[in-house]
């Protein structure tokens, strides 16, 4: 990290396609009650399914916990059945949007160019983009991890990205939802490489940008993961559905 650079960690919960009104609102109210009673050394974000975004944003009004979408369209409006524009997420109360999650890259065949177009739409709408990158197991086993990360970062992150409008999430595909957290040296190497790649395009702004780790983060591995250099928080899937686990991960952030 550059001298004197301080990045406040972000703990972001990706609920994926989980949650109805009753359990989703209950979960978020419980997190808000914990946050109202106790400080944590990090920013908090929940990304519920789009159907819950407005209700959850309303339930969190006045709380420091932000909400975000899980994807957005590159277009602003029009004949795109089933898609959701970034400004619609904003209108529903979102401050962030996750883009290029591996379940979008691999499950829906999204390319770096599409992710960049979505990221540009998010920034234009005034949302913070959380741009996900990460290698598959075959790419890691083939020794291609760093090359894959370079390509994804260069091709997915818009040139007008700043630390104020963009967060990067390193999510090795083989660690997502598998219970298999990447080993600390693997995480440290990937994060340092992502930051060095960002520096090539964005200069010193790269040292202010948060890079989250995502992939089976749980209370048991959070403290060690979050203490690594260049790890500025976590994108949490499965464990974000469990209020106690999500809260324990937030509390595991190192104090600045």
- Distance between CA 108 and CA 244 in Å, rounded? 32
* Residue number, 14 or 166, with CB nearest to ligand PEP: 14
14 binds ligand PEP (CB under 6 A): yes
Determine contact, residues 230/211, Cβ cutoff 8 Å.
yes
- Distance between CA 6 and CA 123 in Å, rounded? 23
48 binds ligand PEP (CB under 6 A): no
Residue nearest to ligand PEP (CB): 237
Q: Residue 215: which region, alpha, beta or left (left: phi > 0; alpha: psi -120 to 50)?
A: left
Contact stretch for ligand PEP (CB under 6 A) within 188-196, 209-217, 222-230, 248-256: 209-217
Rounded least distance, CB 203 to ligand PEP, Å = 28
Q: Which of 110, 135, 171, 193 is catalytic?
A: 171
166 binds ligand PEP (CB under 6 A): no
Nearest CA among 22, 14, 49, 61 for reference residue 169:
14
Of these, 117, 135, 238, 247, which contacts ligand PEP (CB under 6 A)?
A: 238
177 binds ligand PEP (CB under 6 A): yes
Of these, 42, 115, 167, 235, which contacts ligand PEP (CB under 6 A)?
A: 235
Of these, 24, 100, 134, 215, which contacts ligand PEP (CB under 6 A)?
A: 215
Determine contact, residues 63/40, Cβ cutoff 8 Å.
no
The answer to whether 193 is a known catalytic residue is no
Nearest CA among 218, 141, 145 for reference residue 179:
218
């Amino acid at each position: 990290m550059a001298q004197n650079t301080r990045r406040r960690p972000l703990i972001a919960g990706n609920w994926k396609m989980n949650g109805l009104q009753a359990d989703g609102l209950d979960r978020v109210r419980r997190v808000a009650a914990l946050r109202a009673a106790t400080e944590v050394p990090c920013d908090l974000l929940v990304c519920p399914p789009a159907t819950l975004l407005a209700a959850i944003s309303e339930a969190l009004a006045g709380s420091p916990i932000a909400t975000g979408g899980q994807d957005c369209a590159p277009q602003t409006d029009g004949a795109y059945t089933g898609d959701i524009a970034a400004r619609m997420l904003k209108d529903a109360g979102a401050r962030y949007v996750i883009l290029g999650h591996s379940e979008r890259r691999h499950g829906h065949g999204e390319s770096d160019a599409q992710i960049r177009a979505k990221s540009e739409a998010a920034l234009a709408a005034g949302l913070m983009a959380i741009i996900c990158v990460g290698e598959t197991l075959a790419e890691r086993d083939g020794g291609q991890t760093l090359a894959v990360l370079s390509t994804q970062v260069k091709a997915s992150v818009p040139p007008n990205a700043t630390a104020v409008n963009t967060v990067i999430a390193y999510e090795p595909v083989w660690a997502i939802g598998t219970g298999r957290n990447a080993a600390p040296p693997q995480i440290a190497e990937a994060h340092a490489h992502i930051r060095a790649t960002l520096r090539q395009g964005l200069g010193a702004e790269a040292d202010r940008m948060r890079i989250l780790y995502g992939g089976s983060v749980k209370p048991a591995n959070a403290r060690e993961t979050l203490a690594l250099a260049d790890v500025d928080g976590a994108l949490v899937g499965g464990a974000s559905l469990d209020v106690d686990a999500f809260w324990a991960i937030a509390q595991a952030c190192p104090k600045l």
